[in-house]
Structure 1
Amino acid sequence: MTEKRAIDLDTWPRREHFEHYLTRVECTYAMTVELDVTEMVAALRVVPWKSYIAQIWAIASVVNRHAEFRMTLTADEAPATWDIVHPAFTVFNPERETFANVWSPFHNDFSTFHERTADVLARYRTATSFQPQPDIPSNVFDISSVPWASFTGFSLQTRDGWKHLSPIFTLGRYRETEGRTVMPVAIQVHHAAADGFHTARIVQELQELFSDPGWLPK
């Protein structure tokens, strides 16, 4: 059973930062980057794996490496971290021009994750409700895709969402530039959970996975 674990405030280096951005200067920020996905796209052309699932797995993999991106609050609004977080993601219904929000349990093994997630996408691609799965757990973070447009900036304005500590990722359409393929990735972060350093680190680690897709089974 996945648990949330309270953070020891007496030894936590970010205690003051957390309290400042959660209660005094309630603050979220967004960072949009273009990541080079040339090698991953090339690898996916010769293996039977879905690009969207590969993107989701890579993001979930780096998110789960770092406690600051698995943060939540206890019942009394003290900082805590989940042992593991799972990706919730969108699946588009083109006939209705609406999307459903679904999720799949994260697994370190890409093949296992791909099999489960492909089943979720197939099952709910014609869903007519916003959240068709009845069992979405609390320890999820959000990924959405806007594959119809590339962008250089993206941010979310969430009213009364100041206690949402999980990161939110938005992916855009591939773009060709100087012989390389790039993909825009926007990350919405609660400043109480993570600073620019932490977000820059996760961006770098995501780039490393895209540049060296040896995790894609042949």
Structure 2
Amino acid sequence: EKGVSFFAYYLHKSMVAVNSVDELKLRMVDDQIILFDEVHGGSTIGRADGTFGFSFFHYSENFETFNEGLQKEIQSVQNSTGLGISNDDLPINHIRHTTIPWRSFSALLHPTNFDPKECIPKITFGKFNIRDGKKYLPVSIEAHHGLADGLHLAKYVEEFERQLSL
């Protein structure tokens, strides 16, 4: 409806929502808890051959600025092979996103190594659909429970819904 990629649109709205919740900007660094002013994004990006790569993009509250950087990163990943960026190359003040656009879900769990210092939240989106005139986009959020709990995730969801309705 707005003439832009739906992926870019909801990813930006998710990043705005994430950056509105302090607990989702907390990270554990050298046994200290640090609140970052803002967090940036990372996402899996699919390729035409069925593979994917990891991306990193800077957050901007301004959609056009955000989208410009995101589109450059998408092009870079789609014109490359392999996974690309490793976790060691990413700043700790980022948040991971992935999308499973082929399926809806009611729950999702990421594989994890149970590292107690793993503190970067993960957000997964599913297949967008419309039922009975209502729009649905499945969202799964995983966060370190020592840094964020259900109240904070609910704040994210509430702000994400608000952003999508603007």
TM-score of the two chains, using structure 1 as the length reference: 0.71
Measure, in 1, the Cα distance between the counterparts of 2:94 and 2:85. Answer: 16
1:100-143 deviation line (CA, Å, top 9, x unaligned): 01011001111111111111112211321112589632321100
Q: How does 1:54-203 map to 2 (within 5 A)?
A: 54-75=9-30, 77-95=31-49, 97-132=50-85, 136-203=90-157
Relative distance call for 1:159 and 1:132 in structure 2 (3 A) is closer
The one of the two structures with greater contact order (alpha-carbon pairs below 8 A, sep at least 6) is 1
Amino acid at match of 1:119: K
Identity of aligned residues (%): 24
Between 146-155 and 123-132, report the one with greater CA deviation.
123-132
Measure, in 1, the Cα distance between the counterparts of 2:28 and 2:109. Answer: 23
How much does 1:173 deviate?
Answer: 0.5
How much does 1:51 deviate?
Answer: 0.8
How much does 1:162 deviate?
Answer: 2.3
Classify the secondary structure of the residue corresponding to 1:127.
Answer: coil
Classify the secondary structure of the residue corresponding to 2:102.
Answer: coil
Give the conservation status (yes or no) of the 8 Å contact 2:77–2:84.
no
Measure, in 1, the Cα distance between the counterparts of 2:124 and 2:110. Answer: 10
Measure, in 2, the Cα distance between the counterparts of 1:48 and 1:115. Answer: 14
TM-score of the two chains, using structure 2 as the length reference: 0.91
How much does 1:149 deviate?
Answer: 0.8
Measure, in 2, the Cα distance between the counterparts of 1:149 and 1:176. Answer: 13
Amino acid at match of 2:108: F
Classify the secondary structure of the residue corresponding to 1:91.
Answer: strand
Q: Which has the larger radius of gyration?
A: 1
Give the conservation status (yes or no) of the 8 Å contact 1:72–1:81.
yes
How much does 1:174 deviate?
Answer: 1.1
CA RMSD of aligned residues (A): 1.7
5+ long unaligned stretches in structure 1: 1-44, 213-218
Measure, in 1, the Cα distance between the counterparts of 2:123 and 2:35. Answer: 19
